[in-house]
Copies of this chain bind each other. A is one copy, B any other.
Amino acid sequence: MSRIDGRKADEMRRVKITRNYIKYAEGSVLIEVGDTRVICTASIEDKVPPFLKGTGRGWITAEYGMLPRSTHERSQRESSKGRIGGRTHEIQRLIGRALRSVVDLEALGERTIWLDCDVIQADGGTRTASITGSFIALVDALNVLTTQEGQGGGEQSKSRAPGTAGARSRRLKLPVKDFVAATSVGILDGQEILDLCFEEDSKADVDMNIVLTGRGRLVEIQGTAEGAPFTRAELDRLIRLGKKGVEELIEIQRASLGELASKIGR
């Protein structure tokens, strides 16, 4: 049985990652997964949230937004509403947790990396595309940070100097322990499918997001029965499908990062 857009059940949409998409950000990409397009930027701030002050550890946090007309029908701006909705909160927390899982926060030092994921066009899978794209922006930003410090000088380096500087110079190691990427899987008309587009997602009986590392370990799994509850056997097949998808995404991340990819997990 063929899918709405002609894909096979286990086929991803075309993925394209454009690095350095925004000139001011330390890291930035435009990630396109089919018709879904998300701008991900990584910004470095030389302080941490109150609960980490004085611990020497860093933090990674995410914010997510959608342009009003990224969707079929125009949706109201959250800034106009004066409050952020539940769905946005949930997605922001998911992205933050996913990226923190592969970063050595001790090595980062007392800094925060802000990941901003802004959806320009939404056709399903915006939260998983945000995770996959943010990873590249994050690596680029951390590379800027470690390169500056490795060189140990320059005016720009000073402005990014570690909060508790000193013995910390020449830290050339990228504080990234592994790759991380995410995709969605689901059950539609009794068939398990990979990487749902919006139309598929809105009709699916089961919807699952899966976040995996380069070594194939689980960072997050969120499966929801929108209609009928599902069985253990179905769960197992969905996880297998998701794993296939994430492995392909990590290959695309690796190609996009080029030489930088070799510094990950060292």
Contact = CB atoms under 8 A, between A and B. Distances in A.
Interface string A54-95: 000000000101011111101001111111111111101100
Interface residues of A, number: 63
A45 interface: yes
Contacts of A221: 221-223, 235
Nearest to A96: B86
Contact of A71 (B24, B87, B217): B24
A104 to B, nearest CB: 12
Contacts of A39: 67, 120
Contact of A84 (B72, B80, B92, B218): B80
Contact of A83 (B74, B82, B229): B82
A231 interface: yes
A79 B97 contact: no
Given A218-B231, A221-B235, A43 B69 contact: yes
Contacts of A70: 22, 24
A74 B47 CA distance: 14
Interface string A17-40: 000001111001000000100010
Interface in A104-132: 114, 116, 118, 120-121
Interface of A is mostly: mixed
Contacts of A72: 24
Contacts of A178: 229
A101 interface: yes
Nearest to A102: B229
A218 to B, nearest CB: 5
A260 interface: no
A224 B80 contact: no
Contact of A23 (B22, B85, B121): B121
A39 B39 CA distance: 13
A14 interface: no
Given A65-B77, A68-B63, A101 B229 contact: yes
Given A218-B223, A218-B231, 18 more contacts: A22-B69, A22-B70, A23-B35, A43-B68, A65-B77, A65-B79, A82-B82, A82-B83, A85-B89, A86-B89, A89-B89, A89-B90, A90-B93, A215-B229, A217-B228, A217-B229, A218-B229, A232-B239
Nearest 5 CB-CB pairings of A with B: A217-B229, A86-B89, A78-B79, A41-B69, A43-B74
7 contacts: A23-B35, A63-B68, A79-B81, A217-B225, A219-B225, A220-B223, A222-B223
